[in-house]
């Protein structure tokens, strides 16, 4: 996907995404947190600017057009936050991307105690295409659970109310189980905060471990935990 030069003012979130610095959602949070400036003046939500004309900076660093986009997949271990920075000094997934010279950011999230497939990029449009529900990219998880698995399986196939939202699984199946302990596979499209965990708990299951194994056509495969690799052109094309 290519950056485009906007001839007219556009929302600052869109411009940050076009620079490849963050997704629109993350850009909005940066603005709220006071990290974004336009021509030296702190930006506010709803503000517009002109791509390639106005100077946009994040944390004091002016953004520049990128000649090359980078696409990475990581097998995230437990114990790492899916964020670029943490003000409490906790470990983040960025520490695992050794020898990556380009500035990238994580696409979507895996919570602190979850493992598995996590994508990084500096292409905001690609990130949106991967994570936004309107693009119908299935996210599939293997979950180790304890409880009445067979009964929960029927419940997980139905719409589930979580807070103010109703969610549902696209596919649910038992991988293996013995008594009240086993593994299930769940596929969802939305991917709200801790959605799979909350769905399992609401159906009477205790989650012991959770691992994302695929996003759309991209599979975790045999990538070792804690390791990363660049996506192939074919993988990027299939996801984007």
C-alpha distance from residue 36 to each of 29, 31, 48, 69, 185 (Å) = 10, 5, 12, 22, 40
Q: Does 111 participate in catalysis according to the annotation?
A: yes
Burial 92-120 (b: 16+ CB within 10 A, else e): bbbebeeeeeebbbbbbbbeeebbbbbbb
With 0-12 / 13-18 / 19 or more C-beta atoms within 10 angstroms meaning exposed / middle / buried, residue 144 is middle
Best CA proximity match to 96, nearest among 115, 77, 71: 77
Q: Name the catalytic one among 87, 111, 123, 154.
A: 111
Q: Could you tell me the two tokens for 121?
A: 């990029």
Taking alpha carbons only, the member of 167, 138, 173 closest to residue 152 is: 173
Residue 183 sits at the vertex; the CA angle it makes with 177 and 185, to the nearest 5 degrees, is 130
The backbone region for 108, taken as left when phi is positive above 0, alpha when psi lies in -120 to 50, beta otherwise, is: left
Token readout for 59 is 């944390």
List, by residue number, the catalytic residues: 111
């Amino acid at each position: 996907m290519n950056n485009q030069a906007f001839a007219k003012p556009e929302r600052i979130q869109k411009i940050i995404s076009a620079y490849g610095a963050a997704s629109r959602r993350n850009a909005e949070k940066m603005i709220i947190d006071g990290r974004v400036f336009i021509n030296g003046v702190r930006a506010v939500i709803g503000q517009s600017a002109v791509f390639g004309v106005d100077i946009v900076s994040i944390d004091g660093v002016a953004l520049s057009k990128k000649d090359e986009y980078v696409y990475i997949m990581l097998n995230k271990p437990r114990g790492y936050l899916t964020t670029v920075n943490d003000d409490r000094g906790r470990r983040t997934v960025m520490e695992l991307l050794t020898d990556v010279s380009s500035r990238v950011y994580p696409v979507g999230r895996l919570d602190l105690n979850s493992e598995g497939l996590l994508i990084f990029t500096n292409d905001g449009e690609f990130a949106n295409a991967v994570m936004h529900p309107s693009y119908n990219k299935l996210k599939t998880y293997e979950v180790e659970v304890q409880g009445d698995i067979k009964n929960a399986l029927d419940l997980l196939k139905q719409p589930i109310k979580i807070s103010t939202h109703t969610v549902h699984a696209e596919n649910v199946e038992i991988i293996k189980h013995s008594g009240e302990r086993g593994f299930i596979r769940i596929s969802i499209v939305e991917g709200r905060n801790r959605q799979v965990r909350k769905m399992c708990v609401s159906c009477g299951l205790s989650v012991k471990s959770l691992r994302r194994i695929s996003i759309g056509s991209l599979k975790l495969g045999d990538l070792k935990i804690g390791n990363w690799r660049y996506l192939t052109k074919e993988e990027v094309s299939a996801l984007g």
